[in-house]
Structure 1
Amino acid sequence: MKKFLSILLALVVFLTTFPFLGEVSGQSSTISNLGLAEDFWQLAINRQLDEKAIFLQLVAGSDQIVVGRVIGSKGIFDESVKRIFTIYDFAVEEYLKGEGEGIIQQLKIPGGFVGDLFEWDSVAPVLIQGERLFLFLSKKAEFGVYLYDKGVIHVDPNGRIGRFQTTSEKLKEAIRRVIQNPNANIKGLLFADDFNIGPVPANLSMHIDSVTPASMPAGIDGVIKIKGYGFGNQDNGAAVSFTWKKDTRIDGEIVSWSDTEIVCKVPVGILNNYFASASSGPLYVWKTTGASNIVDFQVPFGYMQTRWAGHSPDGSYNPNGNVIEYSISQAVPLSLEIATFFAGQAWNNIANLTFIRKPGYTSANSIAKDGINAICYNWSLGLWAARTAWWGKTKDEYLYTKIEIFETDIEFNSLGSSSYSADQLKSIMMHEMGHSLGLRDLYGNKSGFSQDIDKVMYGLGWPADSVPIAPTYSDRLGIEFIYPLRIISPNGGEIYTGGTSQTITWSTYGNTVQKVNLYFSTDNGLNWTPIATNITNSGSFHWPVPNLGATCPSVRVKIEKTEPSQPLGMPPIDDVSDRVFSIERTLNPVLSLSPPSLDFGTSQTSLTLTVQNIGGGTLSWSASKSRSWLSLSQSSGSLEAGKSFPITVSVSRSGLSPGNYSDTISFTSNGGNQSVSVSMSV
């Protein structure tokens, strides 16, 4: 987990996949080229593929099967395809199929690091230094591993293989038998009845009474509190287990543990060489002596800790702020082109970003870091309908959001997508666009518990008659969390002069934020100084820019939600300028008045008006008004740089008829002229 989080603190591309829907015909020649058996293909397109069928295809289709350990790795960048590859050194313990030369083999798999650049391809397995693996290899495979991530089988430190519910020795025997006879009896070797992957046997002395809150997103470091009895000490094997995919569990990071209360985080991490996160469904406490009772837990959305930046880090492309400008490949069929438009509109209705199409078409038709947000139609493996890649750059560490996305590609599978309905195409594209916005896959589908099947971000494919045609409430919650507030200006590169008045502007989703606080920093976000607190979320604020002691090139502004309405463990809702801007010192005096208007209502008789020199030098000022019912405690004066002076403004209602009255206090100075409006009721 720590290793994976360190990956997220670098320049990142994330790629995800989406399984096939519907039926496909006329693809037998392509299937043959991929080395897929016809019956395996039919199971795949009818969504009836199980792990046993995958195992049999892996053994049949692989040229070589080895077991061993990852002992080293190195990243390279291939300019010809604009992709990163990781060269893994793999120490072979045993060749189970095919012959090999030597003990060390090298695998070239997409994704990984080159300097501070990182690429992730979700159909490429995530290999970890030191882990023990079974590898199913093929010369026909895109990067040597047969069926992408399906061809990598993780072995835990105890020699267990959760994916096939067996042990490494039993898996070896099953492979040997199937090599000798594809119809061999492997009962008891895989999916053994005595292989426990769920909450059995029960430990009746442990009991969960409550989970607070009963719903929490994954990927936000959110914490939950579990109350009950019999939890004992946090010994080896003690865990809080959440649902991941099917019956596979993912354990939460423990914050504290006692006999009656456990506090833990809703987890994300690498599981079975795959990017995993908690999903909706069963939750229980697990120890070596068994499991507690099972309770229901909801995961409304998963957050990648990434969001769209609206521009590249160096400003070289996508400079349009909140706009994601995508390009359609010339190879994309009209049906998918139309689906892309309507999918973008569905997200535009709720997000503070806008998917718009760039005019014309692009010749780009494959995933590559090339400055184009491309919709491609080029992939040809029949197990997934589409995949999404994104590239991003690390945000400063004071921000909760760790990665800002500056480019995203979506690649559709050219095998079979012509058979999809318009709603299916739109739903798949909405799902992929959701990843471009920073949302994770969810997999909860356990009967009798909360599920994720109705969500756009459900990652296992929907039944053909129940595809979502718009983001659900839970999908919307994710977008509202990721994009509730967004600084529009200043957002990086501006040059302001101290003593001037500048407008801070921001966008917000609907009415989810009522009040906000504004801050500025002169040290790139290490320390913050309040500008205004608890002000109405109007979308703009006039900021008297301070005249600093010297020109400052490392200024940012921050906005945050004032009201603390987030559940337990949720981070603050805020946003910061994407890049620094500058404030130049001025030597001239500058007049500033606060507040810009005075309303005495029906009962107030005096209010304070502050005159300030926010520039340099000496400010000489004078004030005048028109109405006799209005008076000023002082009408002229002088102020040195940075100094201020309070004026008491008073009104008299004596002798006035009922009604509304108004006047203007006009200020003239050697640092500019300003006025303050005054209103009163009798």
Structure 2
Amino acid sequence: MKTMFSIAAGSFCLGLLLLVSPSYGLLEKTDTKAVLYQATHIVQGRVVQINTEWIDYNGIQLWSRVTIRVERQMKGEPVGSTLILMVRGGWVGGTYLEAEDIPRFDIGEELLLFLVGSSPEGTFKLINGYAGKLLVEQGKVMGGRIRVDDYVNAVLSDGPKALEELLHSIRRASAKVLAGTPQITGVSPSKRDGGRGLDVTITGENFGSQRGMGTVKFFGNIKSGGPGYYEPGGDYFSWSDTKIVCNVPIASSANDEYGWGVRVRNADGVESPDYLGFDVGFSVSPALE
């Protein structure tokens, strides 16, 4: 069985100190909308190989060499049919060590990647952590809401302004739902850690007077099963037609900037559009349950 552990910069793991090199593998994490348009390379491709190893680079660190088969390139000097992306973290035996603010990569994923230059070793840097890696599903990103070309064009045309306008249009479209469909209007507080027994209050309408088989779903991108929606289990404290109080589950990573949301499904099986105004600050890894 494979397990996963989250590791942070400077944490002691497997008897070795994982030191952070801010100049290699990942640009400093800043505001998403203000940095994506600065990418020197934008590519769409598929993960075909991952090699993980301990590298002595300003101290011993665990790195993965992720080979991307390039299917389309939207910006930058030609990179050829494949490129190598270096990211901290990876598999050691049956254990996955995940570095803070750096996404996990799995073989077979189709991705839209925002990259910067190439290192002296000929590998690329992922820009802005999770924001630099978007999962592509049937030609769309942001949970199937935005066409790849529309997202890239927004980034290239006017950077932060155009991208923010595009995200707002998606939110407005999500708000147009049929009568009787659950609708989330707010989550309080707007940011919570996952898997730490912390509750949130979800407000809206048409949740149903009783929970029954109703659920709340938080998007997660770090669980070993890959991206998907995860539920709080039995940690529901109250449920009414307009308000739900529940815990934020382990492995959740909902985040407005990445299009990862929160949903409510009522007892009749009718599901709300994603609410994109909630952000998970940190989530405990499933292996630490």
What whole-Å deviation, never above 9, does each CA across 1:599-657 have from its counterpart, x for those lacking one? xxxxxxxxxxxxxxxxxxxxxxxxxxxxxxxxxxxxxxxxxxxxxxxxxxxxxxxxxxx
Which residues in structure 2 correspond to 1:268-667 (within 5 Å)? 268-269=250-251, 271=253, 284-285=264-265, 291=272, 304=284
Among 29, 35, 52, the alignment partner of 1:54 is 35
Instruction: Judge conservation of contact 2:216–2:263 (CA < 8 Å) in 1.
Output: yes
The alpha carbon displacement at 1:302 in A equals 7.1
**d(CA) in 2 for partners of 1:68, 1:288:** 35
- Structure showing greater Rg: 1
Counterpart of 1:70 in structure 2: which amino acid?
A: V
Q: 1:190 to 1:98 in 2, by over 3 A?
A: same
Counterpart of 1:173 in structure 2: which amino acid?
A: N
Counterpart of 2:140 in structure 1: which amino acid?
A: R
**d(CA) in 2 for partners of 1:207, 1:302:** 26
The answer to whether the aligner puts 1:190 opposite 2:166 as a matched pair is: yes
Instruction: Judge conservation of contact 2:218–2:231 (CA < 8 Å) in 1.
Output: no
Secondary structure (helix, strand or coil) at the match of 1:56 reads helix
Counterpart of 1:77 in structure 2: which amino acid?
A: W
**d(CA) in 1 for partners of 2:77, 2:183:** 53
Q: 1:148 to 1:90 in 2, by over 3 A?
A: same
Instruction: Judge conservation of contact 1:73–1:87 (CA < 8 Å) in 2.
Output: yes
Consecutive unaligned residues of structure 1, counting only runs of 5 or more, are 18-33, 209-215, 245-249, 307-393, 395-400, 403-682
The alpha carbon displacement at 1:122 in A equals 1.9
**d(CA) in 2 for partners of 1:117, 1:255:** 25
TM-score of the two chains, using structure 1 as the length reference:
0.27
Among 153, 160, 170, the alignment partner of 2:150 is 170
Instruction: Judge conservation of contact 1:88–1:106 (CA < 8 Å) in 2.
Output: yes
Q: Partner of 2:8 in structure 1?
A: 15
Q: Partner of 1:155 in structure 2?
A: 135
Consecutive unaligned residues of structure 2, counting only runs of 5 or more, are 11-25, 185-191, 221-227, 235-239
The alpha carbon displacement at 1:285 in A equals 3.1
Among 192, 217, 220, the alignment partner of 1:241 is 217
The alpha carbon displacement at 1:92 in A equals 1.0
Among all aligned residue pairs of Structure 1 and Structure 2, give the percentage whose two residues are the same amino acid: 19
Instruction: Judge conservation of contact 2:68–2:84 (CA < 8 Å) in 1.
Output: yes
Q: 1:70 to 1:103 in 2, by over 3 A?
A: same
**d(CA) in 2 for partners of 1:253, 1:35:** 32
Q: 1:207 to 1:70 in 2, by over 3 A?
A: closer
The alpha carbon displacement at 1:86 in A equals 0.9
Q: Partner of 1:98 in structure 2?
A: 76
The structure with higher relative contact order (CA 8 Å, sep 6+) is 2
Q: 1:302 to 1:141 in 2, by over 3 A?
A: same
Among 103, 106, 113, the alignment partner of 1:128 is 106
Which residues in structure 2 correspond to 1:16-31 (within 5 Å)? none
The alpha carbon displacement at 1:241 in A equals 3.5
Counterpart of 2:7 in structure 1: which amino acid?
A: F
| RMSD of aligned residue pairs (Cα, Å) | 5.7
Q: How many residues align?
A: 238
Secondary structure (helix, strand or coil) at the match of 2:33 reads helix
The alpha carbon displacement at 1:88 in A equals 1.3
Instruction: Judge conservation of contact 1:111–1:120 (CA < 8 Å) in 2.
Output: yes
The alpha carbon displacement at 1:134 in A equals 1.6
The alpha carbon displacement at 1:183 in A equals 8.0
Secondary structure (helix, strand or coil) at the match of 1:120 reads strand
Secondary structure (helix, strand or coil) at the match of 1:193 reads helix
Secondary structure (helix, strand or coil) at the match of 1:85 reads strand
**d(CA) in 1 for partners of 2:138, 2:111:** 13
Secondary structure (helix, strand or coil) at the match of 2:8 reads strand
The alpha carbon displacement at 1:107 in A equals 1.6
Q: 1:303 to 1:106 in 2, by over 3 A?
A: closer
Instruction: Judge conservation of contact 1:14–1:119 (CA < 8 Å) in 2.
Output: yes
**d(CA) in 1 for partners of 2:175, 2:251:** 21
What whole-Å deviation, never above 9, does each CA across 1:211-263 have from its counterpart, x for those lacking one? xxxxx984269999x983598988xxxx623599xxxxx8433869xxx999x
TM-score of the two chains, using structure 2 as the length reference:
0.55
The alpha carbon displacement at 1:170 in A equals 0.8
Instruction: Judge conservation of contact 1:165–1:192 (CA < 8 Å) in 2.
Output: no
Secondary structure (helix, strand or coil) at the match of 2:129 reads helix
